[in-house]
Amino acid sequence: MLPLIISVLSQNGVKLKSGIELNVFTTEPGLQLYTGNFMKGNNSFKGNIKDEYRTAFCLETQHYPDSPNQPLFPSTALYKGEVYQSETIFQFTTQPN
Closest CA to 7 of 91, 95, 94: 91
Span 67-87, pLDDT tens digits:
999 999 999 999 999 999 999
Among 10, 6, 24, 29, which residue's Cα sits nearest to residue 90?
24
In percent, how much of the chain has pLDDT > 70?
A: 80
Question: Smallest Cα–Cα separation from 65: which of 20, 25, 37, 33?
Answer: 33
| pLDDT for 7 | 56
Which uninterrupted H or E stretch holds 21? strand 20-26
Q: What pTM did the predictor assign?
A: 0.70
